[in-house]
Amino acid sequence: MATSIWFWVAFNAFVLVLLAIDLGIFHRKAHEVSLREATAWSLVWVALSLLFAGGIHMYAGVRPATEFLTGYLIEKSLSVDNIFVMVLIFSYLGVPARYQHRVLFWGILGALVMRGAFIAVGALLLSAFHWVIYIFGALLVVTGARMAFREEKPPEIEGNPLVRLVSRFVPMTTRYHGQSFFAIENARRVATPLFLAVLLVEFTDLIFALDSIPAIFGITRDPFLVYTSNVFAILGLRALYFVLAGVVAKFHLLRFGLAAILVFVGVKMLIDGVYEIPVFVALAVIATILAATVVGSLLIPKKGEGELHSGKEGVGHE
């Protein structure tokens, strides 16, 4: 797409307006997000994404719109794995349900800035050195293989290097002071667990971005499409979290589907100089893999499946 600087300015202004409305009006007061509210917001974000895809179709044609939708679908599916880690973070820190949306809002706002920087660097590298596409492709194939064969165990939050680093240099308190990130205790300024939760959410997204951004570059080299598909998927992640937090563990086959998607996109990038897989085919393959793993997870429950550990505590724990 021949996007001028005004496309970028207008889109980011649009996003800032949406975020201001979200936090300043609908979530001005901290409250526990109900399943009904989360589902409604999730549908709103999906509808906005589809409307944006329609606008791209009208302005630039079918192919760019399909590239946007494929990138959006990849990012949306990979974010489900992200949600599982967020559940563990909130459970570990005992974040009250009414403050979880605030944590996700500021955590994801920081994630948008980091992803914008990643995409800018990736686009510059690809425009200057075409062979970087093969490095991205190899990275995705290796990551997909590791995801498929890794041992299933929850990540250790307490042993996280970021937790150790922050605890060492920033005075922390285990007490919550409403929705504040910092408070005064014993005449000194300390960070509350909400501050640590925001940092962990951003750190988690940073790790996942190392997979998802190269994957979208495997679909399109247009920085504007990569960026906008990322932004729409991330904006909808907060609502999706509250929809799936209690049931995400039931999709036990999803990681194999995500692994297959990463390998598929990686192979697509590796054979770029020999054969270009049409973007319409890529969209169909990715959608089919996702549908198969989700339906398969529901039809074939995991052996010994129980409730996600502390699942209820992660959403609604005081």
Nearest Cα neighbor of 41 from 253, 239, 288, 175 is: 239
Does 18 reside within a domain? no
CA 227 remoteness from chain centre: 13
d(C-alpha 280, C-alpha 73), whole Å: 13
Does 17 reside within a domain? no
The whole domain housing 245 covers 33-314
| Orientation angle between helical segments 132-149 and 193-217, nearest 10 degrees | 120
Mean pLDDT per block of 10 residues along the chain (318 residues) reads 77 87 73 84 92 93 94 88 82 86 85 87 88 91 87 65 79 84 86 88 83 88 92 88 79 87 92 88 92 89 56 43
Does 108 reside within a domain? yes
Q: How many domains does the chain have?
A: 1
E strand or H helix at 184, and its extent? Answer: strand 182-185
Q: Is the pTM of this model over 0.75?
A: yes
Does 132 reside within a domain? yes
Q: Are strands 188-191 and 182-185 parallel, antiparallel or unpaired?
A: antiparallel
Does 102 reside within a domain? yes
Residue 111: both structure tokens together: 């994630």
Does 25 reside within a domain? no
Q: Are 126 and 221 in contact (CB under 8 A)?
A: yes
Does 8 reside within a domain? no
pLDDT at residue number 167: 78
pLDDT at residue number 265: 93
Does 15 reside within a domain? no
